Structure 1
C-alpha cells in the first residue's frame, strides 16, 4: 500500500497537482534505503548461477528482473556475444503462484537462497538437455528444439540429479530416493522405508548448515547404482517453532543437535538404481560419526571424507562398491589443540583416476596438493602463502590449475598454476574480488568481478584472457559510490575498513559504529562496493562506520584463526577494542567516547558480548539473531570451538552471554533483534538473554521479527529494521548536527 501511494503522488505531481504533505508524525521515506531493500542491495538483476556447455559454445545463466526476485534462464552465445531468454517461471507456472514444501524451504534456508523462480539448473553430461525445478516440479528442456517436458515425478521432488548417462533423473520425495526414466517417463522407487525420522537421500541439518554438503545421494559413473545417506534423527532432541501470529496452526518440530547431545546417526548405503538390496558401507562410525563429503568420480572409487566429533581428526576412505568395505587413503590430524576445517568439494579426482587433489592445513594454512590414487602425496601445487580460497578447475591434459585467492585477505583474484610453476594472475588491475567458472576443456571462462567502486559484473573470456563479451545485467545501479578506505592498524596489523560521510569535514569528531561478524568462517573487510553500500548510508547520518578482522577469522593462517579455541568471542572483543584504539591514533576523527557495535548471527553474539563486557568502550549495540549460550547451539560449531560441554564447562560458561547478564556490572544500551521462526539460531536465545537481563534489572530492548527465519528477505521489514538500528545509535551516541541521510 505504501508503494502504491507513492506512485499516485508521483503521478499527480507530473500532472501539475500539488501533493499533500505527509502528517508530521510520518517518517521521511528514504529512497536509497527503500531501493536497497527492494533490490537486495542492488544485486537482483545481475547474472547469477552459470554453466558452460561442453562444446563451449554457450554460457547459460540465471537472472532476475528487478524488482522481482524470480530468476529466468538465459543463454549467451560465445561466438556472437548475443544473449537470449530461454525460459521463464511464468511460462511454466501459467499464472499459478509458486509453492514450496517445508523441506524445500528449509533446504533453501540452509543454502541462503533469497531468489525465487529458477534457483538452480543442471546440464546433462552431453549438454543436450537441461534440468530445472520449479514449485516442487521437475522439467527437462531439450536445448536444440527448446521443447519443455514436465517430468511425472509428482510434487515435492528435492535435489534432482541427472544420471551420468543422461537417461534418468533421480530425486528425493517423501523421504525416499526415486528414479525416473526420461524416455518412458516411468518412475520407480529406489529406496524404501524412509520416514521423517529416518530419511533416505537427504543431507541432514548439520551437513547442510555447517559442512557444505547439500546432497544425500550420488549416482555411480555407470548409472547402475546409487549411494544414499540414511539419516536417523530419532534420538536427536526436537525443537518446536510456532507461528506466533497464527497460534491456531500449531507447532512444527525439527531435530536439532545441541552441543553435547545426540547427533543424527548417518550411514551410507549402496543400492541398484532399479531398487533392491542395500549394501551398507563399513567404516568406524563410532570414531568418525560425521559424513562430511561423498564423491563418486568417473574414474576412481566412491570416496568418503569422515570426521570425528571434535573435528580434530578425519579420514579419506575409498569404498569397494561390491562389498561396502573401505580402505584409508589418508588421515589428517590437528597438530595443536584446534580443529580441522572442511574444504568441499575435495577430494577432486583426476579424469583418468590416477590421483586426486586435496586441501590440507597441516603446514599452517590451506595448501593444495596432488595425491596418487593410493593416497600418497605426489606434490604440492599451491603453498599456504599463496592464499588458496576456492578451487575453480584442474585441466589434467595441460597440468593447469585455476583457483581463486591471494595473499591479501581483503582481495581475491583468479590464479593459474601451470606444470607445477608459481601461481600467476589471470587478470590484471584491482583491487577486486574475483571468482570464476572454467569450462571442462579450458577454452572458455566466466569471470565474476567487483571492487570498491563497482558492482559485480560477469565477463566471458577465452583462455588467453581476451574478452568475448559480458553477461548482461538489468540491475538498478546504486546512486553513489561508498567512500571506503582499507588499511591495517596496530602492531597486530588488523585489517580495517573505514567509511566516512560523503560530506565529511576533516577534524570533526564522529561517533563510531563497528560492524562485526568475528566468526571462524568469514571476514568483514572487503574491497567491495556491494558490501559497503549500507555502511555508507549509515555514515552519511553522521557516523564513522568501521569493521575489523581480528584473531579468530580466516585467511591469516591457522595460528591466527585458532586463537578462538575455548575463547570464542572473548578474543574477538579484545581485538575489536585494540583495533579501535589503534585506529583512533591514526584517524583523529574517531570519537572513542561514542562507540556502538552491531552484527548478525555470530556478529550479534559479539555485539551483545562487547556491550556487556566492555561498556567502557561500547556504549550501545544492536545484536541480531544472536547465540545467547553455546550450549544451545549446534554440535558441529560449538564443539569445534569449545570442546564438549562436559569436558570443558568453563569454556561454555565464560563465553555465554547469560554469564555476564547475571553479573552486577554496568552495561551499554542493547537492542536485541531476532526472527521468531529462526531454525538455525532459535528465537529462545533472544528470550533467554532478555529474561536474564530483566531479572538482573538491566534495561534493554527486544525487537522480535514475527515469522522470520535467520534471513530477513522482506524488503519492507529490512527497511524498517535498518531505520530502527540507526535510531538506536542516534539516541545512544548522537550524530553530527546537520548531517542527514541521502
Structure 2
C-alpha cells in the first residue's frame, strides 16, 4: 500500500516494515474480553487502527437475540487514554515495564483492566495513574491516589479498589475516598500483591492479590527476593548509565520467598500455612463463592503438587487433592477452581491422556487433549482442546472449543482452525483464527446462536501464506510447509529454511493464517520454509510432551531432521542447502543444529539463545533438566557451551549469525557472548549482531524490520545463493 507524505505518493512499505509497525498485524484487533453475567455487555480492548498501539476500553451492548442472526449490537468507547491523559505522553514506571516484558505486552494505552462481579465497574492503570470506568454509562475518571499504580482491581461488589504501588497493597473507595495501605513492605526486597519473576515469567500467574467473594478481605502474596542472586544488565551503548540490578533466580539457585496472607480491610493479617519447604511454588489461587479459597502449590522439582483449601479465619489449609508425576506436572489456564456445586475442577495427565476432571471423575478421554478450562457452569464445563492420540482423524494444528458434562462432549467451534472462548451466563465470545483468512473473527453467541460480531481494525497483511499442514515420518511430526508464491513443481528443488521454535509450550504449527506470514515472506525470498513441532511441544499427548525429560538437545534436533528427511520425499527440497533460524528456544535449537549436525544443517540464525542452561531460570529449566547441583552432566549435555568451550560440536564448521538484545533480562546477553567466545576459541565462523536497548521482545519498528532483512542477506551469503 502506498503512503501519502506532503501530498505526494511514496513507495509502499515493505512487508517487514508493515509487520513491525502493526506488531505482527495484531494492532486494531479486539482482545481481553469480559462478559457480564446477565449477558448484556461484552467489554474488550482495541486500538483505533492497525497501526495505533494505544488500546481503548470498549463495550459492546449485546442484542437480546430476538432480532435473529448476527444483528450486530452497539459498540461504544468506555475509556479513551488520549482523552484521559489530555494528549500527554504516557510514562511507564520500571515496575510496569517489567510487568509488560513478562507478559510480552507490546501495546500501549489501556493494556489490561479488571471488573467487578456485575461487570459494571472497570479499573485500569494508565501512565501510572488509577482510573475507573462506569461501563453502563460509558464514563471514566481518575482517582487521586499515590502512584505509580500497578494492577488495580475492584472488589466484587464494586465499592472498593485495591492496587499496588511501591510494593505496598492499598485500598481506596470506588469514588476515591478513604485511601489507605493494607500491607507495606518491610524492606526494599519485599512486595505485597505482585507476582514474583518466576510466577509471571513461567507459571502464568500474573497476579498477587485476590478479593474474597464478599468483598470483605483479600488474599495477598508477599514476595521477598532477598535470597535471589543479583545480576547486572548494562547498556554498553550508554556508558553514562549505571547498570540495572536484576534479581534473577537461575537454575539451581534460590528463588524468592513467597508467602500468602489473608488481610482484613482494617489491615489485620493472618498467614496461610502450608508446607512451604516441600511446596515452595505458589502456582495458582482461586477464591469464589463456590467454596473456600483454593491454592495449587508445587514442589521445587514439579513432580508433586497439592490442591489446598484455606480456612480464611485461621489460615489453616486442608488437602483436597494431590498429584504426582515421574517427569513433571504442567500448569493449565483456568484451573484449579470450584464448580458451582463445590467440586474440584482440574486438568490432569491420567491414563496416557490429558483429561478434564470434575471431582474425582474424568469427563474426557484419549480422544481429546485438553489445553485450558474456559468456564464452568451448573450444566457444563467449557474447555479448549485438540485431538488426542485416540482421535479418529488427525487435526494438525487445530484447537477447538468444547462443552463437556456427564452426558458427553460437544464441539462448539466448527471450522478447522484455532479457537478460544470467553463465557458468562448465556453469552459466549468465540474467537476463531482459520487458515484461509487473516486475523481472527470474533462472534458473540447467545444461547449458542450468533447475535453479534466484534469488528477488527487490524490491517490486512497483503500476504496469503501458501501453507500445507501435514505430519512427517513415522513419528507423525506436525509440520507446516510454506512454498514461494507462484512456485510450481517444475521449478526444481528449493533451498530449505527450517523455522522452528521447537521448545516446550511453544507450539508453532497452528491451523491459522497469521502465524505463517513471516515464514511466507522468507519463502518468497526463494526458500521452502518448514515449521516442525517435534517432541516436547504441546498438542498431542503427555508422553509426546514429556519425552524430552533430561534430554532436550538431542531429541529436538533429531525430530527436526526426521521431519526434514521425510518431507523431502514429498516436497521440492534441496537437502544440500539447509538453513535454520529461531529465537529464544528456537535460537538454542538453531545453534544445536549446526554445531551437532553440520552434515544436515549448513547455516543458522541464532536469536537470543539459551546457550548455557545453568543461566536460565529455575521453574523452567529444572522442570526439564532437574537440579544442576545434582545433575551437572545433564546440564552439560544439553548446553551449547560449558567451561571448556563448545559441547558436542562436530565438523565441518558452519556459519552462524548470533542476534541478542543487550537489555534482555529473560535470556541475558551473557548466553550469546559466551557462545561467541567459544566459537572464536574454536576458530568457527560466526557473526554477532548486538541490539542496543532491545529486550527479549523486539517491538522497535526499525529494529524488527531490519532484523528480517539482515537475516535474509546472511542466509543468501552463507548458502551461496547470490
TM interval, short-chain normalised: over 0.9
Q: Which residue of 2 aligns with 1:438?
A: 423
Cα distance, 1:427–1:146 mapped onto 2, change above 3 Å = closer
Q: Which residue of 1 aligns with 2:383?
A: 403
1:557 Cα shift? 1.2
Q: Which residue of 2 aligns with 1:520?
A: 504
Q: Answer whether contact 2:597 2:650 (CA < 8 A) is retained.
A: no
1:292 maps to which of 264, 283, 299: 283
Say yes or no: does 1:357 pair with 2:332. Answer: no
State which drifts further: 468-477 or 634-643.
Answer: 468-477
CA distance in 1, matches of 2:210, 2:60: 30
CA distance in 2, matches of 1:724, 1:526: 27
Say yes or no: does 1:46 pair with 2:36. Answer: no
Say yes or no: does 1:261 pair with 2:253. Answer: yes
1:347 Cα shift? 1.3
Say yes or no: does 1:324 pair with 2:315. Answer: yes
1:70 maps to which of 41, 49, 54: 54
Please list the CA deviations of residues 148-176 of structure 1 after superposition, one character each: whole Å capped at 9, or x if unmatched. Answer: 23112222111111112211011111111
1:366 maps to which of 331, 340, 354: 354
CA distance in 1, matches of 2:626, 2:556: 18
SS in 1 for 2:240: helix
SS in 2 for 1:131: strand
Q: Which residue of 1 aligns with 2:529?
A: 545
Q: Answer whether contact 2:20 2:701 (CA < 8 A) is retained.
A: yes
Q: Which residue of 2 aligns with 1:415?
A: 402
2:209 maps to which of 214, 217, 220: 217
Q: Which residue of 2 aligns with 1:703?
A: 689
Cα distance, 1:233–1:90 mapped onto 2, change above 3 Å = same
Cα distance, 1:504–1:213 mapped onto 2, change above 3 Å = same
SS in 1 for 2:29: coil
1:108-119 equivalences under 5 Å are: 108-119=100-111
2:544 maps to which of 560, 574, 579: 560
Please list the CA deviations of residues 567-588 of structure 1 after superposition, one character each: whole Å capped at 9, or x if unmatched. Answer: 112200011111101111222x
Please list the CA deviations of residues 604-663 of structure 1 after superposition, one character each: whole Å capped at 9, or x if unmatched. Answer: 000011011011111011011100100111111111111111211111111110157265
1:162-311 equivalences under 5 Å are: 162-183=154-175, 185-276=177-268, 278-311=269-302
Q: TM-score, normalised by structure 1?
A: 0.91
Please list the CA deviations of residues 474-514 of structure 1 after superposition, one character each: whole Å capped at 9, or x if unmatched. Answer: 22112131110011111111111001011212141100000
Q: Which residue of 1 aligns with 2:627?
A: 644
Q: Which residue of 2 aligns with 1:534?
A: 518
1:666 maps to which of 638, 652, 671: 652
Q: Which residue of 2 aligns with 1:381?
A: 363
CA distance in 2, matches of 1:682, 1:31: 31
Say yes or no: does 1:675 pair with 2:638. Answer: no
State which drifts further: 83-92 or 719-728.
Answer: 83-92
Q: Which residue of 2 aligns with 1:472?
A: 455
Say yes or no: does 1:344 pair with 2:329. Answer: no
Q: Which runs of 5+ in 2 are unaligned?
A: 64-71, 388-394
State which drifts further: 237-246 or 601-610.
Answer: 237-246
CA distance in 2, matches of 1:31, 1:152: 45
Q: Which residue of 1 aligns with 2:14?
A: 31
Cα distance, 1:295–1:453 mapped onto 2, change above 3 Å = same
Q: Which residue of 1 aligns with 2:43?
A: 60
Q: Which residue of 2 aligns with 1:691?
A: 677
CA distance in 2, matches of 1:29, 1:470: 31
SS in 2 for 1:288: coil
1:55 Cα shift? 2.6
Q: Answer whether contact 1:626 1:681 (CA < 8 A) is retained.
A: yes
1:271 Cα shift? 2.1
Say yes or no: does 1:451 pair with 2:434. Answer: yes
Q: Answer whether contact 1:194 1:200 (CA < 8 A) is retained.
A: no
1:409 Cα shift? 5.0
Q: Which residue of 1 aligns with 2:713?
A: 727
State which drifts further: 244-253 or 655-664.
Answer: 655-664
1:270 Cα shift? 1.8
Say yes or no: does 1:394 pair with 2:376. Answer: yes
1:29 Cα shift? 7.7
State which drifts further: 719-728 or 465-474.
Answer: 465-474
CA distance in 2, matches of 1:474, 1:671: 36
Q: Which residue of 2 aligns with 1:160?
A: 152
Q: Which residue of 2 aligns with 1:627?
A: 610
CA distance in 1, matches of 2:102, 2:485: 37
SS in 2 for 1:406: strand
CA distance in 2, matches of 1:465, 1:178: 41
Cα distance, 1:144–1:644 mapped onto 2, change above 3 Å = closer
CA distance in 1, matches of 2:692, 2:625: 32
Q: TM-score, normalised by structure 2?
A: 0.94
Give RMSD over aligned pairs: 1.9
Cα distance, 1:193–1:78 mapped onto 2, change above 3 Å = closer
State which drifts further: 460-469 or 208-217.
Answer: 460-469
Q: Answer whether contact 2:124 2:151 (CA < 8 A) is retained.
A: no
CA distance in 1, matches of 2:136, 2:545: 50
Cα distance, 1:612–1:142 mapped onto 2, change above 3 Å = same
Q: Answer whether contact 2:90 2:126 (CA < 8 A) is retained.
A: yes
CA distance in 1, matches of 2:452, 2:487: 39
CA distance in 2, matches of 1:140, 1:664: 60
Q: Answer whether contact 2:26 2:50 (CA < 8 A) is retained.
A: no
State which drifts further: 126-135 or 558-567.
Answer: 126-135
CA distance in 1, matches of 2:272, 2:588: 40
Q: Answer whether contact 2:307 2:321 (CA < 8 A) is retained.
A: yes
Please list the CA deviations of residues 243-289 of structure 1 after superposition, one character each: whole Å capped at 9, or x if unmatched. Answer: 3322212011111111111111111122212213x221111111111
CA distance in 2, matches of 1:461, 1:95: 33
CA distance in 1, matches of 2:654, 2:534: 22
SS in 1 for 2:481: strand
What number of residue pairs does the alignment pair up?
702
Q: Answer whether contact 1:448 1:456 (CA < 8 A) is retained.
A: no
SS in 1 for 2:194: coil
1:570 maps to which of 548, 554, 558: 554
SS in 1 for 2:279: coil
1:30 Cα shift? 5.8
1:198 Cα shift? 1.7
CA distance in 2, matches of 1:60, 1:567: 44
Cα distance, 1:409–1:393 mapped onto 2, change above 3 Å = farther
Q: Answer whether contact 1:174 1:195 (CA < 8 A) is retained.
A: no
